[in-house]
């Protein structure tokens, strides 16, 4: 079946630093989604990407849909303590009704 490799698994950074994380797939996706999950909460959709090469921003967050359609990147600029949480990527292909999730990146920010 499809697999999504998300890296890094965890990051511990200083407040104010920029953050990058990515997901790679063994197969093509038509939609890439990025979610953030805070402790005890459900995942919250951050950015949705629908076209290869698409670059979309949401405040300090920027995500890109890779040209090959097999990868996606999420960048967070000037991190702040409330960025702490787990970030998940998810991909959907044209054939299915389901999302494939990455394993998550746990972000910790030191004030």
Partner 1 sequence: NAGVTQTPKFRILKIGQSMTLQCTQDMNHNYMYWYRQDPGMGLKLIYYSVGAGITDKGEVPNGYNVSRSTTEDFPLRLELAAPSQTSVYFCASRTTTGAQYFGPGTRLLVL
Chain positions contacting partner 1, by CB under 8 A = 30-31, 33, 35, 40-45, 48, 50, 88, 90, 92, 97-99, 101-104
80, HSE (Cβ side, Cα atoms, 13 Å): 4
Minimum distance, C-beta of residue 78 to partner 1, in the bound complex (Å): 26
Minimum distance, C-beta of residue 48 to partner 1, in the bound complex (Å): 5
Nearer to partner 1, 77 or 99 (CB): 99
Minimum distance, C-beta of residue 1 to partner 1, in the bound complex (Å): 9
Nearer to partner 1, 16 or 57 (CB): 57
DSSP 81: G
The angle at the Cα of 34, spanning 28 to 84, to the nearest 5 degrees, equals 145
Alpha-carbon gap, residue 69 to 25, rounded angstroms: 9
Nearer to partner 1, 35 or 73 (CB): 35
For 14, 45, 91, the CA distances from 24, given in Å and listed in that order, are 26, 19, 10
Minimum distance, C-beta of residue 80 to partner 1, in the bound complex (Å): 23
Nearer to partner 1, 62 or 77 (CB): 62
For residue 67, report the phi and psi dihedrals to the nearest 5 degrees.
Answer: -60, -35
């Amino acid at each position: 079946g499809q697999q999504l490799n998300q890296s890094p698994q965890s990051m511990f950074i200083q407040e104010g630093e920029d953050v990058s994380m990515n997901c790679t797939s063994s197969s093509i996706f038509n939609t890439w989604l990025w979610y953030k999950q805070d402790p005890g909460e459900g995942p919250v959709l951050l950015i949705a990407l629908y076209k290869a090469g698409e670059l979309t921003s949401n405040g300090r967050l920027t995500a890109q849909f890779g040209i090959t359609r097999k990868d996606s990147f999420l960048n967070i600029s000037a991190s702040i303590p409330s960025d702490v949480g787990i970030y998940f990527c998810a991909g959907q292909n044209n054939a299915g009704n389901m999302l494939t999730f990455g394993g998550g990146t746990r972000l910790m920010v030191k004030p």
